[in-house]
């Protein structure tokens, strides 16, 4: 299942300056793991040790905050768009 992931500016150093990347997986957790396999070091920037997103990061699937869905267990499907956005004041890209 391939999804598009939008990367916030501070993490673009890890994605060779790409603001949008493709990742595979059935849930948000899978996507985090898949991102880590492509861009080593990115997962610890996004997640706490227990795998949930850091306090100051919000994750959106197709514009909806995953905290209104199933958190990191939220299922994703082909073509979904995932945004990683710093929490402060909506964050920046």
Partner 1 sequence: MGYVKGLRCKECKREFPKEPIHVCEFCFGPLEVDYDYENIKKAVSRKSIESRSPSMWRYREFLPIDEDPKVGLHTGFTPLVRAKNLGKALGLNNLYVKNDSVNHPTFSFKDRVVSVAVSKAIEFGFDTLSCASTGNLANSVAAHAAEAGLKSCIFIPDGLEAGKILGTLIYGTQLIAVKGSYDDVNRLCSEVAADHKWAFVNINIRPYYGDGSKSYGYEIAEQLGWKAPDNVVVPVAGSSLITKIWKAFHEFEAMDLIGPFKTKIFAAQATGCSPVTTAIKNGTDVITPVKPNTIAKSIAIGNPADGYYGVKTANESGGYGEDVSDEEIVQAMQLMAETEGIFTETAGGVTLAVTKKLIAQKRIKPDELTVICVTGNGLKTQEALDGAFEPPVVIEPHLHSFEEIFANNLTVE
The answer to whether the beta carbons of residues 24 and 46 sit under 8 Å apart is no
Residue 38 or residue 86: which is nearer to partner 1 going by CB?
86
Taking phi over 0 as left and psi of -120 to 50 as alpha, with beta for the rest, 76 belongs to: beta
Residue 2 or residue 44: which is nearer to partner 1 going by CB?
44
Rounded CA gap, 51 and 78, in Å? Answer: 23
Count of residues that bind partner 1 according to CB under 8 A:
22
Tell me: does residue 87 bind partner 1 (CB under 8 A): yes
Q: Which of residues 7-66 bind partner 1 (CB under 8 A)?
A: 9-10, 45, 54-58, 60, 63, 65
Determine which helix (DSSP H) or strand (DSSP E) holds 65, and give its type and residue range: strand 64-65
Contacts with partner 1 by CB under 8 A lie at 9-10, 45, 54-58, 60, 63, 65, 67-68, 85-93
């Amino acid at each position: 299942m391939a999804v598009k992931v939008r990367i916030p500016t501070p993490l673009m150093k890890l994605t060779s300056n790409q603001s949008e990347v493709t990742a595979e997986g059935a849930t948000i957790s899978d996507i985090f793991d898949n991102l880590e396999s492509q861009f080593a070091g990115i997962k610890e920037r996004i997640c706490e040790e227990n795998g949930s997103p850091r306090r100051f990061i919000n994750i959106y699937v197709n514009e909806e905050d995953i905290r209104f869905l199933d958190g990191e267990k939220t299922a994703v499907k082909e073509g979904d768009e995932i945004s990683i956005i710093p929490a402060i004041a909506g964050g920046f890209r």
